[in-house]
Structure 1
Amino acid sequence: MEYQKLGSSDVSVSRITFGSWAAGGWMWGGTEQNDAVGAIHASYELGVTSIDTAPVYGMGFSEEIVGEAIKSLPRDKVQILTKFGMRWNEAKGDFAMKTKDNNGHDLDVYKYAGRDSIIRECEDSLRRLGTDYIDLYQQHWPDVTTPIDETMEAVSRLIEQGKVRAAGVSNYSVAQMQEAEKTLNLASNQVPYSMLRRDIEADVVPYCLENHKAILVYSPLQLGLLTGKMKPGQEFGAGDLRNGNRFFTPENVKRVNSLLNKIRPLAETKNATLSQLVLRWTLAQPGISVALVGARNPEQAVQNARAMDFQLTFEQVDFINKQLRELAGTAVA
């Protein structure tokens, strides 16, 4: 495993980080707690010491699973990355979405990052996680109803109190990062990125490289599309976020599978799966510090961690990039 320091903070994380969104069940069609705990343990055994979660994943359930998993692990050897600012139990801020909890009950979720709300959220997360500090505390989504300096001042207070080690943001633009930096030194920005979704290369990546900020990318496998296991016309349940997603139209799945077939021989020369090759390519891109990857069971977790068992040469990365450029003319916008 490789490890990366987050910006100028003293927090180092594993470059493959366990993403626990699916473990919380919410928008992924349910979960099985024992499998999720086992997956975290299996990851840890292979050097994946960092776990990314959020209160809104399963309305607290994901954090509880993480808390259960880390009970038997040395706390100082594990990095807990969680978030704040997505409220399903308080109707304040910027309305985000209508959704359902794991029991099928309707919920309204709001982006809200007011000072008092953040302090309460932090206490709730610490309780669910069964710990007295969070290694990286990230604003989940920007909240247009709360001044950024108010949000960052609240996180600063939590750092001063020892409840948070480092501050990060998620889904922030460059302008929003610059505004936040007036109040607080950010360690990182967590953003979506994959072979099929590379828009951050235009601005976020250059800014973070120049200002020594880590970039944590989520959905590097594009919600499973880049595993090579998706079939055109594959159906997903009503609560699954891939249902109706533009990346999963039959025509786009065909295009992506054609790309994957072209790079499959390279994966085979590395004794690697397509998923592992995609993750290795992702971490070879300039500015990309960490790839967040979910797993529902220990077998998937082991496969994810094993993506670090091989290297890609410059020529091999260039070969993949050439295939991506050929896809770009027909890929989904």
Structure 2
Amino acid sequence: MEYTTLGRTDVSVSRVGLGLWNVSGDVNWDRVEEDDAVETIQAAVDAGITFLDTAEAYGDGYSESVLGAALETLNRDDVVVATKAHQSNLAYDDLKAACEASLDRLGVDTIDVYYLHYPNPDVPVSETARALRELREEGKIRVPAVSNHGVRDLNDVLEEVRVEANQLPYNLLWRAIEYEVKDACVENDVDAVCYSALAQGLLTGRFDSPDDVPAGRARTRHFSSEREHARHGEAGAEAETFAAIEEFEALCEEFDVPMVEAAIAWPLHREGVGSVLVGATSPEQARANAAAAERSLPPEFVERAADITAELKEALGPNPDPWQSESRYR
């Protein structure tokens, strides 16, 4: 496993982290039973993954509680615990209360990395920042951070409080942050922490066509707005998406690189990316994900993979929001 320090801090995180959205059960995923999830978290840590990521919104606190159960079996000093405050909780009093609730579910005294899950334009940034500063001074959080923040929102937050990471959707099939947001992170020494590295399973090679993708996962802007759970009004880019997947699979075969490892490793070879979060529902998956951190991709592979997905990047455009045409990123 490789490690890096987050932003301008001395907080060391594994370059492949464990995302715990998928254990919570929602339209995208089946809920993972607590014992199975705890075993998966333990396996991830045993494989060198120290960056464990959740949110109060995942399963209405279930994901945080599961991580809390796992932490009882681990050495707390060996892991970096990250969670996110819902955008409805960014007012001063609400954020202070949300943090206390997350601390309780996690069973910890301090949250290492505390993200604002999405911006909330109805709450003054100064009010949210005041709560973050106080939580840090009280020792309840170590590192303030943001998630799903565009250039304007990131800059607005940085004017009020230093944040060290911006958690963003980024993978070979979803490269919208390359238009503006990633550059803004680099300019401000804010690490991009990337989620959906496997594009919710599309980059595993398990789906041969758009029709094979479960309805809950076929709601991003890759897919037609006629899909059952779509929240956008676009035609989608299904042909371009699956043509890119087929070409990427062939590229992996040419270089004799496992497709999953290559998909996880590719963002780690891009400027400004500190860590990549990947979900797992079994110890075997956790160990396989961890192996990607040690996968060094040749420069030719990295560039050819980018070329393969360039047409799809252009088709989807600069809106970083994977699910909505009316972007929540500003």
Give TM-score scaled by structure 1 length: 0.85
Q: Is the 8 A contact 1:140 1:170 kept in 2?
A: yes
Q: Does 1:218 align with 2:195?
A: yes
Q: Does 1:29 align with 2:7?
A: no
Cα gap change, 1:254 to 1:302, in 2 (>3 Å): farther
Q: Is the 8 A contact 2:205 2:249 kept in 1?
A: no
CA distance in 2, matches of 1:148, 1:82: 19
The CA RMSD measured in Å over matched residues stands at 2.1
What is the 5 A alignment of 1:61-210?
61-86=62-87, 111-210=88-187
Q: Which amino acid aligns with 1:74?
A: N
Shift of 1:41: 0.9
Q: Is the 8 A contact 1:80 1:135 kept in 2?
A: yes
Shift of 1:267: 3.0
CA distance in 2, matches of 1:68, 1:181: 34
Unaligned runs of 5+ in 1: 87-110
Q: Pick from 281, 287, 290: which aligns with 1:305?
A: 290
CA distance in 1, matches of 2:181, 2:86: 21
**CA deviations over 1:231-284 (Å, ceiling 9, x no partner):** 3212536xx3x2444424599555434333333354346654212111111111
**CA deviations over 1:139-186 (Å, ceiling 9, x no partner):** 011111110111011011000011100000011111111111122111
Q: Pick from 208, 212, 216: which aligns with 1:234?
A: 212
The aligned residue for residue 320 of structure 2 is: none
Secondary structure of 2:309's aligned partner: helix
Q: Does 1:247 align with 2:232?
A: no
Shift of 1:332: 5.2
Shift of 1:208: 1.4
Q: Which 4+ stretches in 1 moved above 6 angstroms?
A: none
What is the 5 A alignment of 1:6-45?
6-27=6-27, 28-45=29-46
Cα gap change, 1:272 to 1:170, in 2 (>3 Å): same
CA distance in 2, matches of 1:179, 1:54: 23
Unaligned runs of 5+ in 2: 228-235, 318-330
Q: Does 1:264 align with 2:242?
A: no
The aligned residue for residue 105 of structure 1 is: none
Q: Is the 8 A contact 1:228 1:257 kept in 2?
A: no
CA distance in 2, matches of 1:77, 1:231: 40
Cα gap change, 1:328 to 1:10, in 2 (>3 Å): closer
Q: Is the 8 A contact 1:40 1:298 kept in 2?
A: yes
Give TM-score scaled by structure 2 length: 0.86
Answer with 155-164 or 23-32: which moved more.
Answer: 23-32
CA distance in 2, matches of 1:190, 1:14: 15
